[in-house]
Amino acid sequence: MVSNQKTGIALSSKLVYYVLKNEEKLTRKQITAESRLSTQTTRCGLKRLESSNIVRKEKPSVSGESRNVYSLV
């Protein structure tokens, strides 16, 4: 994965960040569609952002909904 030498943040993680910055909450599938990244690349970007406390994963609030949603901290 290519990273920006100045910040050390992968470009894919930056793209995931900017997609979430424009939307309040999104599922991983929605982030993948908006960013046009692969599912695996989106998942890795989200994990990096979560571990840096930039993004948080939230459990679905509606019963019966099985997908987690992601938002910026």
Contact 3, 15 (CB under 8 A): no
pLDDT in tens, 18-64: 999 999 899 999 999 999 999 999 999 999 999 999 999 998 766 66
* pLDDT of 1 higher than 70: no
In a domain, 6, yes or no: no
Range of the domain at 21: 11-72
The C-alpha atoms of residue 5 and residue 14 are separated, in whole angstroms, by 13
pLDDT in tens, 64-73: 666 899 999 9
Question: How would residue 7 be classed by pLDDT, with cut points 50, 70 and 90?
Answer: low
The residue among 10 and 7 whose pLDDT is bigger is 10
Nearest to 13 by CA among 56, 53, 42: 42
- The CATH number for 61's domain is 1.10.10.10
Contact 72, 21 (CB under 8 A): yes
In a domain, 2, yes or no: no
N-term to C-term CA, the chain: 24
* Lookup result for tokens 């979430």: 20
